[in-house]
Amino acid sequence: MSDHTRSSAAQIAAALADGTTSVEVTQAHLDRIAATEPSINAFLHVDAEGALATAADVDRRREAGESLPALAGVPVAVKDLINTTGQPTTAGSRILEGWVPPYDATVVARLRAAGLPILGKTNLDEFAMGSSTEHSAYGDTRNPWDTDRIPGGSSGGSAAAVAAFEAPLALGTDTGGSIRQPGAMTGIVGVKPTYGGVSRYGVVAMASSLDQVGPMARTVEDAALLHEVIAGHDPLDSTSIDAPVPSVVEAARRGDVSGLRIGVIRELAGEGFQPGVQSRFDAAVEALAQAGAEIVEVSCPSFVHGIAAYYLVMPSEVSSNLARFDAMRYGLRVAPEGVDGPSAEQVMAASRDAGFGDEVKRRIVLGTYALSSGYYDAYYGSAQKVRTLIARDFSAAFEQVDVLLSPTAPTTAWRLGEKTSDPLAMYLEDICTIPANLAGLPGISVPIGLADDTGLPVGAQLLAPALADDRLYNAGAALERLVSMPVLQEVAR
Ligand code: GLN
């Protein structure tokens, strides 16, 4: 195909330097979106006019001989949890339906400054709470490999858009796995940077001690290129780290694991892991060994408590962060039925009842309970202690190895509706990804082929110490080269 929708971002950047216009490339992606969306529903909002205006501006500047940033003119999609002026930001919730933010998130401002046309806003689980995108208030997103299946979540819209060639690049957010897991489910690359590595200013908060924004792309190099656009200190985010951004593009181009010590996490295998996932994973480990990596089995015994700790810490923070949706300052306002002259509190209660979905309510209730006096020590306090144990397991492991490796998720993509009535079954899908969030460490998911038993994409996850994001890109690029991942031919309709 010559319309560049099948090209990597790096290839598009090269074509742009060679005379192709960003308007052509951006229009091709808008056409692809128009053709594909009826079967995928990855986008909640498409901004053709805004994207083409940015593209035309970049083309004009290039024509005038200006030297431009590496990704100038390469289109991108943005998870609808991230503020964009001129485009709505719903967080996948009715409570923010129609809300247009008065300011850009720092990451969006950086995309604009680097000249990336923003194609639109992608679907997600409401307030990023979920692993399947089925908790969106605006309908399910479907997996391009099989449209009867979920694309993972919560950044399922971004993952599906990139996998279905609607966008070469996208931004997601990852609180417990929401970039890496949908990346694995749709056969693309997803990166959760070190906590504090990317600004969260203007990103709707889910759980502030865990949330990170990161890149999603079809190649490791493309993810690195986008990483360098968005990363780096931001005085507007008090958790932002004031340190140089690791050279991730250089690392992605290196892709050399010879002599690298890779630790395979013993606890993230066995019961509950789909055989087709395990066999792809074993083959990937073997390929890394063949390429000269030193494979070491490491034990992280506290990881088995990760889900329990996360599902106390996260809802506690959710219950506090979501208190701001009070129907007074912005968003949906509903009059309680049959009440004459309702009080502010009654309006708040009616609006929150109408505006929040069941999963969000479940977590607000859980979190409020975990923080309540008398239960705080037993629940929230114990969970914080487990969090410390998990961080210690990581520290001990990184004394033995340079990076850690596991499957990204225990299964491949499940059928729509299969787990919606069983929240616990859905939560168990997060077992591999949660430890990195609890410890603030970076992680990447790289596609490693299709599972023999389901024919669906499998991802492997690499984890590194804080601020060593470049190790992930180096090892991830090697893995990408060593395994064969089939290219999606066409979206099933
Ligand atoms: N699936 C996890 C959850 O439901 C992770 C969500 C996320 O990373 N935003 O909380």
**Ligand 1 atom at minimal distance to the Cα of residue 359:** 4
89 Cα to the center of ligand 1, angstroms: 19
Q: How far is the CA of 346 from the centre of ligand 1 (A)?
A: 30
Write out pLDDT tens, residues 289-333: 999 999 999 999 999 999 999 999 999 999 999 999 999 988 899
- In this structure, which residue's CA is closest to atom 4 in ligand 1? 130
pLDDT in tens, 167-208: 999 999 999 999 999 999 999 999 999 999 999 999 999 999
Nearest atom in ligand 1 to 206's CA: 9
| Residue 223 pLDDT > 80 | yes
Ligand 1 centroid distance, CA of 171 (Å): 15
CATH topology of domain 3-255: Amidase signature (AS) enzymes (3.90.1300)
* 306 C-alpha to ligand 1 centroid (Å): 13
CA 157 – CA 173 distance, rounded (Å) = 11
CA of 432 to the centre of ligand 1 (A): 12
- The pLDDT assigned to 480 comes to 98
From residue 23, give the alpha-carbon distance in Å to each of 31, 321, 424: 12, 40, 46
Ligand 1 residue neighbourhood (C-beta within 6 Å): 128-131, 154, 174-178, 206, 314, 430
Percentage of the chain lying above the pLDDT 90 cut: 96
In the set 8, 93, 178, 240, the catalytic residue is 178
- How remote is the CA of residue 458 from the centroid of ligand 1, in Å? 19
Give the residue-averaged pLDDT of 209-227. Answer: 98
Percent over 70 (pLDDT), the chain: 99
The mean per-residue pLDDT over the stretch 206-234 comes to 98
Residue whose Cα lies nearest atom 5 of ligand 1: it is 176
Given ligand 1 and candidates 175, 192, 211, which is best to mutate, with the most ligand atoms within 8 Å of its CB? 175
Among 79, 129, 318, 322, name the best residue to mutate to test ligand 1's pocket (greatest count of ligand atoms within 8 A of Cβ): 129
Residue 493 is predicted with a pLDDT of 60
Query: Active site includes 178?
Result: yes
Whole-number pLDDT of residue 492: 67
> Which ligand 1 atom minimizes the distance to the CA of 179?
8
Atom of ligand 1 nearest to the CA of 155: 9
pLDDT tens readout for residues 45-69: 999 999 999 999 999 999 999 999 9
User: Is 361 a residue of the active site?
Assistant: no
Asked if residues 36 and 157 have their Cβ atoms less than 8 Å apart, the reply is: no
Q: Which atom of ligand 1 is nearest to the CA of 174?
A: 8
Sheet (strand 43-46) strand order: 43-46, 118-122, 76-79, 169-174, 212-217, 189-192, 443-450, 457-463, 403-407, 261-265, 294-298
Q: Are strands 294-298 and 261-265 parallel, antiparallel or unpaired?
A: parallel
Cis peptide before 343 (omega within 30 of 0): no
Residue 98: the pLDDT is 87
Residue 191: φ, ψ to 5°: -125, 130
Tell me the best of 80, 81, 125 to mutate to test the pocket of ligand 1, counting ligand atoms within 8 Å of each CB and taking the most: 125
Q: What is the pLDDT of residues 104-155, one digit of tens each?
A: 999 999 999 999 999 999 999 999 999 999 999 999 999 999 999 999 999 9
Ligand 1 midpoint to CA 116 (Å)? 27
Q: How far is the CA of 129 from the centre of ligand 1 (A)?
A: 5
Q: Which of 7, 79, 121, 199 is catalytic?
A: 79
Residue 330 confidence (pLDDT): 86
- Tokens for 100? 């247009």
Catalytic residue among 154, 199, 240, 351, which?
Answer: 154
Q: Are 80 and 124 in contact (CB under 8 A)?
A: yes
Per-residue pLDDT, 1: 46
Mean pLDDT of 422-433: 94
As a whole number, the mean pLDDT across the chain is: 97
Task: Write out the two tokens for 336.
Answer: 């309680």
Residue to substitute in 430, 437, 438, 445 for testing ligand 1 pocket (most ligand atoms within 8 angstroms of CB): 430
Instruction: Give the ligand 1 atom nearest the CA of 178.
Output: 8
Report pLDDT for 230. 98
* C-alpha 310 – ligand 1 centre gap (Å): 10
